[in-house]
Structure 1
Amino acid sequence: MLDILANDTFIMTVRLVLAAILGGLVGVEREYHQHPAGFRTHLLVSVGSCLIMLLAFYGFQTYMSENENYINFDPSRLAAYVVSGIGFLGAGTILVQGYTVRGLTTAASIWVVAGIGLTVGAGLYTPAIITTVIVILSLYLLGKIDFNFLSKAQKNNIYITVDENKSTLTSIISVCEQLDIQIKAISSERQEGYKESSVIEYRLYVATVEEKTYYALVEALQNYEFVRKINIDAK
């Protein structure tokens, strides 16, 4: 029994399976919230990182033993390449939509999962498990907390319903800029119930301004024929 536990193949198998489990757990949370990189991506990143670490530890043992007088090998070099190279995969999950940048958290989770895989590959099981728990709790619980109270500028919502085929978002943004309204983020959603044309609702999240500025915005937007409805949720 002890011989099996000490066998290199058994050790590598355990580490690969544990890396898959820990990386997959982080991926489940991302999958549940429908983010670009989900369960399979995180699992593969973790297992792949673990495999590279195992390669660094076990892959060159025979070669080094045969050439120990000529070889100076540092296993951490392969780990460094994984940490730097994973940035390309993380960058693929970042999406820029108007004034909104999405995917940064998912990119960060991929980067952390790579670290978890490397840690498991190095045999540091406890730090890897603790990190996995911290990551899952931070992604799941902290995502439910509204941190707007930390911002000095309170955000308000402006809902603008327009004819999609006739409108341009740049025109709306231009009006806001002329009135010195700072747009923090923009999202859009297609509206149902308008049979005669395709209608979309733009949601502008802006910093608080004076009430007269909102009136001026409504007056300016009403001059556009494509604007159907304007609703301002000011706090």
Structure 2
Amino acid sequence: MSKKLENKVFLITGAASGMGKATVTKFEAEGAYIVAVDRNTSVIEVWDGHDQITPLIADVTKLDDIKNMAKTVKETYGHLDGVCNIAGINDLSYPLLETDDERWDNVMNIDLKAPFRILREMMPLMIENGGGSIVNIGSYAALRGNHGPSYTAAKAGLEGLTRSIAFSFAKNNIRCNIVHPGGCATNLTLGGQKYHEAQASLSNLIKAMPVKSFGQPEEIANICAFLCSDEATWINGAVISVDGGMSAC
């Protein structure tokens, strides 16, 4: 049987751990070639020896690094079939009155400005290729108001960016969709010193839901692979919740 992403080339960020690592693993299994990006130097060790994967250390908040991503794709593979913007951070549920400019800017730069810049640099490669597929990773937070304002605003903004790109580049055979994970068992969700009062409120809300609290990174990887495949050619501008039903509660 043919693999659904065979001989396609993708750029995937956040590739050293969590959802990014799971997505690279899934795409590799489906026959894709991947430029696997992470600012953590461990990305080299994680993907060393994988013939289909080119690991690249890069900071998605630095424009020179993003330009180097495009250069690496072009020089290594010659074309680009899609992008998965997975790298991101959480605001640790810090509420408005405890959110300073530094926290706001840091979340916005990684969760919203970086995907915008990455897609601006990668779009010419996909246009030249005759089309492509983009998956942005949002969050359940974009659909509800129970996270901190910086994270909620960034992910809601990413949804708007997704729709704009879907509309503007459909004529170029480029699709752009966003996936909103619920709680996912990754370091992003489980690690860090959260703002206790706000986090307690969110935890109590989640406990009251008739669904499991956490999904697995592989469950996000599966939908990314589907959206980037030819099985999803009629899906563009979609907002897809992958949260076990959390957003329906």
Q: TM above 0.5, one fold? A: no
Higher helix share: 1
The normalised TM-score by structure 2 is 0.21
Task: Kindly name which structure, 1 or 2, has the bigger radius of gyration based on alpha carbons.
Answer: 1
The normalised TM-score by structure 1 is 0.22
